[in-house]
């Protein structure tokens, strides 16, 4: 029988959480040893042992705010989300937030949330942030809009614009949400058509990126460009070296150089990868994402959300879950979002 949608909702949010918690210790590292990472995962996945939980960072903290808002309001409420971001930040400021996004929280609070979208527009001398902070937290909204693609695109863009008003910032958020959405709608019992998955993303991004035509930009279609490069890497007969992935797709905090990378990790990890010894394609996705280095927690979190939405909760190792902070809470969010979505 097929994997239930409720299980896919859980897989998505637990995948998002585990990627963040497991990737955070390596954030900003380069040349992470494959064998060290293999031992790290084997130990955590193996017989349970008591140890302090791996703590989540800004990625899961902001995801939590979005989930809690959607559950409490049963609709998209930008002001409520902004208030929750600020409250969460001032309660736990040491969660590894992006350097500039913190300014927004201070301004929102100082201006008493007069315009929740206002402060984000002033970032980077008015050009807005192109960081991956919108994309890293978007999973709950992708679940909430499971059955309405138009609504998904519109609400996801607005959710991003609370902090990310640069086109690459909110388009990257839309791309991540679309990837989760596609995963939710596929049956993992059937072989994943990797080429079709990426072709569908390119087609959808051609609609999203349409409005930059004729503006005289160097590349008006940056996400389509990166997704096409991703397809070339996926189509290659021989294995792609990590250095080439990093050079071509990137592992930085910019949405353009991390969201396509996360999607690549999910698609590449459907089949075995050298030096990643596991039969579990969910774990392979997360382990591979971390092994690429750079913004490990965020890329692993985004890749984990896409993979979890595809494979469902049952594939996620119980012991890995036990080593991560707030797993029970994320399962509860998924179940509540499922109830709301199913009754819409
Ligand atoms: P953000 O909006 O502060 O953007 C992140 C960074 O991207 C900024 O600090 C800038 O360096 C750069 N940036 C974004 N837009 C522009 C622009 N228009 N012009 C010039 N530079 C720009 O925060 P965010 O929420 O997007 O950040 C998310 C990331 O930060 C996640 O990876 C998260 O985990 C966190 N983080 C990452 C690292 C890391 O080393 N990779 C470290 C700490 C925190
Ligand atoms: Mg993190
Ligand atoms: Mg982080
Ligand atoms: Mg990060």
Taking only the tens place, the pLDDT of each residue in 280-309 is 999 999 999 999 999 999 999 999 999 999
Q: Which atom of ligand 1 is nearest to the CA of 297?
A: 34
Residues 175-196: what's their mean pLDDT? Answer: 98
d(CA 116, CA 133): 16
Q: Which residue has the tokens 């280095």?
A: 293
Tell how far the Cα of 137 is from the centroid of ligand 1, in angstroms: 14
d(CA 166, CA 168): 5
What percent of the chain has a predicted confidence (pLDDT) above 90?
94
Residues 115-143: what's their mean pLDDT? Answer: 98
| Ligand 1 pocket residues where CB is under 6 Å | 27-28, 57-59, 96, 98-101, 124, 127, 129-133, 136, 166, 253, 295, 297-298
Tell how far the Cα of 116 is from the centroid of ligand 1, in angstroms: 20
* 2 has pLDDT over 90: no
At 5, the pLDDT band (50, 70, 90 cuts) reads: very high
Name the residue at shortest CA distance from atom 40 of ligand 1.
28
Q: CA 87 → CA 82, 135, 296, distances in Å?
A: 9, 20, 26
**Could you tell me how many helices (H) and strands (E) the chain has, helices first?**
17, 0
ipTM confidence score? 0.96
Q: Which atom of ligand 1 is nearest to the CA of 131?
A: 26
Q: Which of 109, 135, 124 is nearest to 20 (CA)?
A: 135
* 240 has pLDDT over 90: no
Q: Which atom of ligand 1 is nearest to the CA of 255?
A: 26
pLDDT in tens, 6-33: 999 999 999 999 999 999 999 999 989 9
- Per-residue confidence (pLDDT) for residue 312, from 0 to 100: 98
230 contacts 161 by C-beta, under 8 angstroms: no
pLDDT in tens, 37-50: 999 999 999 999 99
d(CA 309, CA 6): 10
- Per-residue confidence (pLDDT) for residue 1, from 0 to 100: 62
141 contacts 70 by C-beta, under 8 angstroms: yes
At 232, the pLDDT band (50, 70, 90 cuts) reads: very high
Q: Which of 203, 74, 57, 205 is nearest to 140 (CA)?
A: 74
Q: CA 296 → CA 19, 29, 61, 92, distances in Å?
A: 8, 8, 16, 21
Q: What are phi and psi of 53, to 5 degrees?
A: -65, 150
pLDDT in tens, 195-213: 999 999 999 999 999 987 7
Q: What are phi and psi of 216, to 5 degrees?
A: 75, 25
- Does the reported pTM lie above 0.95? yes
pLDDT in tens, 255-264: 999 999 999 9
Residues 160-164: what's their mean pLDDT? Answer: 98
| Residue of 130, 131, 294 to test ligand 1 pocket, by largest number of atoms within 8 Å of CB | 131
């Amino acid at each position: 029988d097929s994997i239930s949608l409720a299980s896919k909702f859980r897989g998505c949010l637990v995948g998002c959480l585990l990627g963040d918690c497991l990737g955070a210790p390596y954030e900003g590292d380069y040349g992470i040893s494959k064998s060290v990472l293999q031992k790290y995962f084997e130990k955590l996945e193996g017989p349970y042992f008591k140890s302090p939980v791996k703590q989540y960072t800004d990625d899961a903290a902001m995801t939590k705010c979005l989930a809690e808002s959607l559950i409490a309001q049963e609709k998209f409420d930008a002001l409520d989300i902004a208030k929750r971001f600020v409250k969460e930040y001032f309660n736990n400021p040491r969660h590894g937030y992006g350097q500039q996004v913190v300014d927004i929280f201070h301004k929102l609070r100082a201006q008493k949330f007069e315009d929740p979208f206002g402060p984000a527009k002033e970032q980077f001398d008015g050009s807005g942030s192109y960081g991956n902070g919108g994309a890293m937290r978007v999973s709950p909204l992708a679940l909430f809009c499971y059955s309405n693609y138009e609504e998904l695109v519109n609400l996801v863009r607005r959710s991003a614009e609370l902090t990310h008003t640069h086109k690459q910032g909110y388009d990257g958020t839309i791309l991540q949400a679309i990837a989760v959405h596609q995963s939710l709608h596929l049956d993992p019992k059937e072989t994943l058509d990797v080429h079709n998955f990426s072709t569908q993303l390119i087609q959808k991004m051609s609609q999203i990126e349409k409005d930059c035509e004729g503006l005289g930009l160097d590349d008006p279609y940056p996400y389509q460009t990166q997704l096409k490069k991703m397809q070339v890497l996926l189509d290659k007969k021989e294995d792609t070296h990590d250095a080439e992935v990093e050079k071509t797709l990137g592992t930085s905090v910019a949405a353009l150089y991390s969201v396509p990378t996360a999607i690549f990790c999910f698609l590449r990890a459907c089949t075995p990868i050298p030096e990643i010894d596991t039969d579990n394609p969910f774990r392979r996705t997360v382990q591979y994402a971390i092994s690429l280095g750079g913004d490990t927690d965020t890329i692993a979190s985004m890749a984990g959300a896409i993979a979890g939405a595809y494979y469902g909760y049952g594939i996620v190792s119980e012991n890995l879950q036990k080593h991560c902070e707030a797993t029970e809470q994320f399962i509860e969010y998924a179940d509540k979002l499922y109830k709301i979505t199913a009754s819409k």
